[in-house]
């Protein structure tokens, strides 16, 4: 039988780990990505996200492609060591700014939902 102290210490460790895995939960924190606009018109947008790998732009691309008014969404990383993906977006009927904002909001909502379920599952999981 484990002592109360060991059990509480394990719970605290799990909670710290969960916080590390999900750093982006609000727009203020997500704005730290600092994208650089390369090309911007009403229905076409191209921007670069410095310091990112494939994870964020791929998720953004998949979320953008769920929108029916998106004609093209993709990204390109010139060289793996540079880690500066260039995201391209082309829409019809709706402006790129509106579509991009909605996609980011959808991504944040999904991330928050996943985080809550993960935290709940981690709390329910106990080692006896």
* 65-75 per-position pLDDT tens digit: 999 999 999 99
Total domains, the chain: 1
pLDDT greater at residue 17 or residue 74 = 74
Query: 14, 12, 31: which is closest to 23 by C-alpha?
Result: 31
85 within 8 A of 73, measured Cβ to Cβ? no
Cβ-in-10-Å burial (0-12, 13-18, 19+) of 100 comes to buried
46 within 8 A of 39, measured Cβ to Cβ? yes
pLDDT-wise least confident of 40-44, 49-53, 62-66, 106-110: 49-53
State the residue range of the domain holding 83.
Answer: 4-124
Please give the order of strands across the beta sheet that includes 44-49: 35-40, 44-49, 86-91, 70-76
Alpha carbon of 108 to those of 5, 14, 30, 67, 104: distances in Å? 36, 23, 9, 16, 6
How many angstroms separate the CA atoms of 15 and 27, rounded?
23
Whether the model pTM is above 0.85? no
Q: Residue 18 sits in a domain of what CATH number?
A: 3.30.1360.10
pLDDT in the model for residue 25: 46
Alpha carbon of 111 to those of 18, 43, 98, 106: distances in Å? 13, 27, 20, 9
pLDDT in the model for residue 26: 46
């Amino acid at each position: 039988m484990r002592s109360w102290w060991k059990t509480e210490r394990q719970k605290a460790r799990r909670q710290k780990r969960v916080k590390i895995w999900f750093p982006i939960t609000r727009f203020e924190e997500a704005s730290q990505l600092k994208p650089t606009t390369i090309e911007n018109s009403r229905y076409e947008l191209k921007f670069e996200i410095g310091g990112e790998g494939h994870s964020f732009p791929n998720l953004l691309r998949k979320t953008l492609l769920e929108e029916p008014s998106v004609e093209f969404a993709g990204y390109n990383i010139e060289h793996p060591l540079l880690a500066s993906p260039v995201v391209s977006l082309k829409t019809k009927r709706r402006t790129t700014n509106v579509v991009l904002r909605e996609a980011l909001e959808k991504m944040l909502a999904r991330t928050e939902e996943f985080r809550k379920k993960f935290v709940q599952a981690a709390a329910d999981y106990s080692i006896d």
